[in-house]
Structure 1
Amino acid sequence: MTTPFLTIANASQTELVIKKSRFICSLQRISSEEDAQNFIKEVQAANRKANHNCFAYLVGDQDQVQRESDNGEPSGTAGVPILESLQMAKLHNVVAVVTRYFGGIKLGAGGLIRAYSNVTTEAVHRAGVVQRIKQLQIAITVSYRQHDALLYYLKEHQLAVSNEDYGVNVTTNVFINEATADDTIAQLQNRFNHQLEIQKMGSHFHEIPYNPAE
C-alpha cells in the first residue's frame, strides 16, 4: 500500500500561554527550502522583540530536506520537538515557526519540549490535513433520460463531478482515482448496460480532506 502524501489544508497560527510565556506557532505550506526560509524571515521580522523564533520544516515527497533550529533555546528543546510534531502528523512540504515571548518563569528542558510540541500539534489540528492523490478526469456522455440515475450513482459512490455540458446529450466530467480508474469505468459501464460513452481526459493531483480513521 502506498503511503499517502499529507500536508496541511490551510496556513494557521496558534498561541498557548504557559507559565506566563507566550508560544505562538505559525504554520505554512511550502514547495521548496527557499519558501521555508522566506517564511521564517517573515515571522522573525514580525516578531523582532520575541526571545526566540524556533522552527522546523520538511520538504519533498520523501522529506528529502529536513531542518530545525532551537534559535537560542537549550539544545534539543525546541527545534526537534517542532520537527517531531510535524513528523508524527506525517506531513510533507510544511514549515512551522514557534515564537516565544518569555514570561519570566523558567520551564526546564521537559517543560520546553512539551510546550513547543503541544503548540505545533495544536496548530496542525487548526490547519487541517489533506491528502494529495493523483486523479484522472473522465467525460461521461449520457442521455437526458439516464442523467439523474448517473448523478445518483456518482453521489452514492462519492465520485466528484467537476462540471457538466448540455447538448444533444449530457456530458458529465468526473474525477476518479487513477490507480483504480479501469475498475471504476468498468463498474459504471456494467451499471448502465454499456450505454455510456466514457472518454479519459487528463490526470492531475487533487487534494481531499484526510481522516485517518477512514
Structure 2
Amino acid sequence: MYKTILKDGYDEFIERKSKFIGYAFKVESEEEALNKIDEIKKKHRDATHNCSAYIIGEKKLIQKYNDDGEPSGTAGIPMLEVLKKENLTNVLVIGTRYFGGIMLGAGGLVRAYTKSAKIAIDSGIVVEMFTFEKTSIKYDYTFHGSITNILIKKGYKILDEIYTDKVEIIVHNKVGNKELKSDLMEETGGTVEIKILELVDLPVLKGKIVY
C-alpha cells in the first residue's frame, strides 16, 4: 500500500500582493515529472518563479526539489516536506509565484510555498493505493440471490455478470482477503469456482475503491 493523489490538483492564493499558484500532479516516473515541470514553466513563462518538488516510486527512492531562483531552502524543500509529511509518492508539486512587489522574507516564503503545495494536494484528494485481485466467481444459478446479497453486504461492486450454463460474476478483492472465498465456499457447499484473473492497483478513499 502507498499513498498518492487521485487526480491533478490546483489552487491559488494571494500573499502580500504576490500571487501563488499550487499544482499537484500524479506522476509515474521522473521523466514524466520533468516534462510536467517544463509544461508549467512554459505556461507561466512570465512568472517570477516556478518551484517544484517530487517523490517517485513505491519505496520513495526518487526525491528531488528545485527552488528556481528563490533563496535556498525557502521553496523546494518546504514543498518536499509536505509530500513527506503526507507520506505521498508518485506526486509532483509545483509552486508558481508572481511577485507582487513586497518581500516576504525567508519565513514568509517557506509558509507560502508550504501552503501552495498543501492546497494543491488537498485539491487532488489523497488516496491509498492497494493491490486487488480481479476475481471471477462462477456458481450454479440456485446460489445467485444469496451470493449477490453477500457481495452487496460486504460492499463489493459487481464489475460484470456473465450468464451461460452457470453464473459468473467479476469483482475486485483485496490481496490477502481470504474472507470472501471462505464465505462463498460455505454458501455453496464448496461448489463455487473462484479464479484470479489479474492483479490491479486501485485507489481507496474512506475504505471504498474509487472507480
Q: TM-score, normalised by structure 2?
A: 0.91
Q: Which runs of 5+ in 2 are unaligned?
A: none
2:13 corresponds in structure 1 to 16
2:196 corresponds in structure 1 to 200
Query: What is the root-mean-square deviation of aligned Cα atoms in Å?
Result: 1.6
- Structure 2 residue 60 is the aligned partner of structure 1 residue 90: no
- 1:45-124 map, 5 Å: 45-124=42-121
List 4+ stretches of structure 1 deviating above 3 A: none
SS state of the match for residue 160, structure 1?
Answer: coil
- Tell me, in whole angstroms, the C-alpha distance in 2 between the residues paired with 1:150 and 1:108: 63
Q: Identify which of 181, 185, 194 aligns with 2:181.
A: 185
2:4 corresponds in structure 1 to 7
- Tell me, in whole angstroms, the C-alpha distance in 1 between the residues paired with 2:170 and 2:65: 44
Conserved? CA contact 1:160–1:176, under 8 Å: no
- Tell me, in whole angstroms, the C-alpha distance in 2 between the residues paired with 1:104 and 1:203: 53
Give the letter for the 2:192 counterpart: L
2:130 corresponds in structure 1 to 133
- Tell me, in whole angstroms, the C-alpha distance in 2 between the residues paired with 1:199 and 1:71: 52
Greater Cα shift, 136-145 or 19-28: 136-145
Q: Provide Cα deviations, 1:43-97, integer angstroms capped at 9, x if missing partner.
A: 0111111111100011111111111111111111100111111111111111111
Conserved? CA contact 2:135–2:195, under 8 Å: yes
SS state of the match for residue 67, structure 1?
Answer: strand
- Tell me, in whole angstroms, the C-alpha distance in 2 between the residues paired with 1:60 and 1:154: 33
Conserved? CA contact 1:129–1:210, under 8 Å: no
1:161 corresponds in structure 2 to 158
SS state of the match for residue 93, structure 2?
Answer: strand
- Tell me, in whole angstroms, the C-alpha distance in 2 between the residues paired with 1:53 and 1:136: 41
Q: How many residues align structurally?
A: 207
SS state of the match for residue 106, structure 1?
Answer: coil
Greater Cα shift, 41-50 or 133-142: 133-142
Q: Which runs of 5+ in 1 are unaligned?
A: none
Identity level (%):
33
SS state of the match for residue 130, structure 1?
Answer: strand
Deviation at 1:172, TM superposition (A): 0.5
Q: TM-score, normalised by structure 1?
A: 0.90
